[in-house]
Structure 1
Amino acid sequence: MLVYRLPRGLALDKPGSFCPVCRTPIGWRSNIPLVGFLLQGGRCAHCGGRIHWRYPLSELLCALLALAAWYAFGASPEAIATLLFCAALVALALIDVEHGLLPDRLTLGLLWAGLAYSLAPKSGGAAATALLPFPGPGQAIAGAIAGYAFLWLFNRAWRILRKRDGLGLGDCKLLAAMGAWLGLNGLPLVIVPAAVVGALSGLLMIALGRASVSQPIPFGPFLAAGGVFALFLGPDVALLPGLAGAPGLTGS
């Protein structure tokens, strides 16, 4: 619902869920995540209109991330915070893919939520030692500033060299938000995989004729994937031979 309504300027609280084709309200059974989609064969029960792929995909991703958060932290405030962080990244990625937009209400909301959460005490969890630790206030502020500044400076350099923007300010705000949640030490674990996978995906799309060199490709989905990677898998990568102890890749 968030992915559909927010970029269209629709209210998030009312009306209730409805079919975007015929505008018929959707019953609670059809609103059960994934189950409703499967029971209806991917179509509206009233008009037969096809249900957009964004709905089952977002529900599946959020379900998997909820399981990962529960495994890492058990039933705890950290698990809830992790799920909210990841769910916001999923929503931002899907909106950017469909609309080429990263709404301020989500990026700035995620930024301020990360800074606020850095003040909260952390209790740890079952597998929390294997995760990138949530930062304290100093690391969160430094991460937010560095995240925004890095992509802003990159875009300035790109504009000087290529006479056009390479990124939007939404990308800068998104990386600032991730810096607030993951800290200064987490930023390289977001940026490197996002840049590598984004570049390879862009080259593949150009080779397949689905994009051109002058056509911008949304970077938000790659940043979002990098954020999830950094949180759940980043510490394992940082401990690989040759990377252990590298500046910015460990908590020390």
Structure 2
Amino acid sequence: MNRFTDKTVLITGGTSGIGLATARRLLDEGAYVAITGRDDARLKAAAEDLGEALGGDPDRVLAVRADAASPAALDALMRRVESWRGGLDAVFANAGVGIFKPAAELTEADVDLMLDVNVKGVFHTVLKALPLLREGSAVVLNASWTLHRGMAVASVYSAGKAAVHNLARTLGADFAPRGIRVNSVSAGYIDTDMYRESVTDPAQHARNAADVPLGTLGRPEDIAAAVAFLASDDAAYITGQDLIVDGGLVGSLPRR
């Protein structure tokens, strides 16, 4: 498929995991892709990886160091994107952090970090990108299965992700007169670096997979496919929705 030929997409947090897999998917479908990250080395490695996938041609990839929690950094990012391609056809607000502890163990710094990146960062990313978004463009926000099902060690993380989906609904209504759609995607257990940093016990990986009716952890590519759908014209009449991609984790009990 070439649903994104000559279209320009911004992916925040695009140096690994879901963000990097989505960048690969959209490049495969013809897009020009800008990715962001906070770590110079990881950003360089991701850009080189994507360039190699294009046969060593880096012209369709722009890598920009930017912190989603910094409005000033987002302003600079949008200036780079505008000078590169003039505008945007889609944004995947993917950058996020997770701190998983019982609520009583969360520090004020933990709470501030998660809300600054996962909620305020998503909101400011979309608002800063709005002047660049062309009519008929799409925004996809990275939410989480935890907004649909309680998880004991994810109180503030889950609350932030619930706010993210609410932004999809409210901004979807707000931007509709311009033909800009806004949706969220809620991933289940996805085998990424972030997941493995949070779940360090290999036995827990097996227990998590056993909670999924399909019996396995998801892959970043599974979420990339969902983001590509929501960002494409195939979803032209879909806005304000949350697409759960979780192997059945939220809605079903596995067969034992």
Same fold (TM over 0.5): no
Q: Of Structure 1 and Structure 2, which has the larger fraction of its residues in helix?
A: 1
Higher Rg: 1
User: Taking structure 1 as the reference length, what is the TM-score of the superposition?
Assistant: 0.34
User: Taking structure 2 as the reference length, what is the TM-score of the superposition?
Assistant: 0.33
